Structure formats: C-alpha cells, structure tokens
Amino acid sequence: MKFVFIVNPVSGKNADKQPLIDEINARQGRFDVAVYLTKAPHDATEYVKTYCQEHPEEDVCFVACGGDGTLNEVVNGAAPYANAAVSAYPCGSGNDYIKYYGGKDYFTDIDAILEGTPCRVDVMQIGDRYAINATHFGFDSYVAAKFYEFRHKKNPYMSAVLYALKHGMKNHARIVADGKVFFDGDYCMCTVCNGTHVGGSYKCAPRSSNHDGLLELCLIKSISRIGLLTRMKSYERGTHMEEPRVKKYVVYDRAKDVEITVPKGFYISLDGEVIQQEHILVHNIAGGLRFVVPKGAPIK
C-alpha cells in the first residue's frame, strides 16, 4: 500500500510542519510514502479525488495530517473510490474520530500507521457530502459554527460556548429514523454518530460501533442553562444514558437512515464542518470506507 500524507500546513498551534514532513520522508525506501501540502480549504478533497481518478489501480491510503476538518476533507475525496483508504495523524484541534481507537497517542506514531490494519468502517452520506464521525445539530453545532467565527479571539472556544448558551439552547427539529418519527419538538442538541466523541472531549455516543451498519442517535431534550452546565460532566464521561438525573433528558435509538428537518438557516455540523440547510438525509453506508488503524491500537 502507498501512503500519501495530506498535510494541512496551518492546522493546530504549531504551524511549522517541516519536522513532520522530514519524519515522513525519512521512511521512504522502507515504505512507499509521499507528502502533499494543502493550499486552501477543500484542496485536500480535490487532490484526493484527482489522485484516485489518475491512479485507479493503486492501493493507496491518504493520511490526514491536521484536525477533524482535514480528516473530513480527505474522507470526502476518498469515499467514492474503492482503491482508497484513509487514516489520520493528529496535529490539529479536536481529533474526535480517532478517540474510537484509543486516541492520539496511537496515531502520532508514523511507523504504527504505516504498519497498520485497514478496517472496513461505516461512513455517512449527506447528499454529495460524506462524514465519518458525527452529524450534529443544536447547542454544539452553534459552538462549532461560532468557534470558526471567533477563531481570532483569545479564547474562541469559550466565546463560542457563551454564544451557544445564549442563542442555541432551545431548538426545534423533526427527526425521522428509518421511516419512524424519532423526535418532533424542541430540544437542546442531537448527534447522529458512527464515532463516539464530539467537541474534543465529549463522549456523546458511548455505545457506538463504527462498523455495525447503524447510526447512533442521541438527543438531549430541552433543558435549562444551569441544568445543562451541571450535567455536562456526565455527557463528557459518556454516562449520560445511565445516570438517572441525566438520562431522563435523553432520547436514544439506532437507524440506517435519518431524515432531519430544521428551521431555515439553522447550523448543522458534519465532522465539525458547518452547513446551513433546512432538510437533510443522513444515509449510513455500511463498510463504505477503509480506515487504517495503527499497529497496536485497539480494534473494537
């Protein structure tokens, strides 16, 4: 297998990616490796698509070197092509999807990635887009949207959270799962997941399997600001479906297809990439993508 490392040069706090590039190139000879530096937003998607079209017989893994946004771009380029696999080297913010496999320590070992195991995983298709980890909307999609808008502030995440506490607590949606109404009314936030985490540390879908063909739906009903803040530790730990004072606010199910209708202009986050669309269908493609799990990382 050839490994093409897609490096986002502006991801994370450390903008100097040359040491990483040198480490990758040092493996040349022992492994078939290459490096591509992205030039602009969505460039990774276009590069991966073009590469797959020009090398249709090559077994290739594209390693997203960045954060959740870089991985999402690489997934969107690779998902339509059977010869393509994906992995991740975390050097950006969030890195939510790889927490399913034990977290970033396994994925910062380049040799472990190069000696990793390709596994079939489910991938979400939303129109002409793909998401590997989570589609979420409500309070936390407000945070995702405003985090980018406030990125130049001293603490953009806290600024985004404060905005969401003011504007994103009470939302409305009609959600249909496999043809049956899952929820219709006011809620705080909802995640549709193949992974387990969103928002950097929140274990929103602790029961998730990323290869069972089913999406996890976890909705938090309308709750006061104080109620949410005093229960967020449970959501972070992933115990919100067991703890009595929290689980009464939780609506949970599994499905292959999830239809979401929200008010016009509402924020929906696809692996952290925010769109504004009032009606979407999330279709889960069972085993739709190969993901290379580093050697030594736990495979569930």
Give backbone dihedrals phi and psi of 192, rounded to 5 degrees, phi first: -120, 110
The pLDDT value recorded for residue 12 is 65
Domain regions of the chain by residue span: 2-115, 134-285
- Percent of residues, the chain, with pLDDT higher than 70: 99
Task: State percent of the chain over pLDDT 90.
Answer: 82
Q: pLDDT averaged over the chain?
A: 94
The rounded distance, in Å, linking the Cα atoms of 73 and 7 is: 12
Q: What CATH number was assigned to the domain covering residues 2-115? A: 3.40.50.10330
Whether the per-residue pLDDT at 134 is higher than 90: the answer is: yes
Q: Which of 26-40, 143-157, 185-199, 278-292 has the lowest mean pLDDT?
A: 143-157
pLDDT of residue 287: 98
Say what the pLDDT of residue 242 is.
Answer: 93
Does residue 68 surpass a pLDDT of 80? yes
User: Could you name the CATH architecture of 134-285?
Assistant: Sandwich (2.60)
Mean pLDDT of 156-167: 88
pLDDT band at 113 (very low <50, low <70, confident <90, very high): very high
Q: Please, which pLDDT band fits residue 201 given cuts at 50, 70 and 90? A: confident
Question: For residue 94, what pLDDT is reported?
Answer: 77
pLDDT of residue 149: 83
Separation CA 217–CA 52 (nearest Å) = 33
Note the pLDDT of residue 13. Answer: 64
Tell me the C-alpha distance between 102 and 95, whole Å: 11
Model confidence, pTM: 0.93
Task: Tell me: pLDDT of 148 over 90.
Answer: no
In total, the chain counts a number of residues equal to: 300
Q: What is the mean pLDDT of residues 249-278?
A: 94
Number of H helices, E strands in the chain: 9, 15
> How does DSSP classify residue 247?
H
pLDDT at 164 over 70: yes
Structure confidence at residue 152 as a pLDDT band (50, 70, 90) = confident
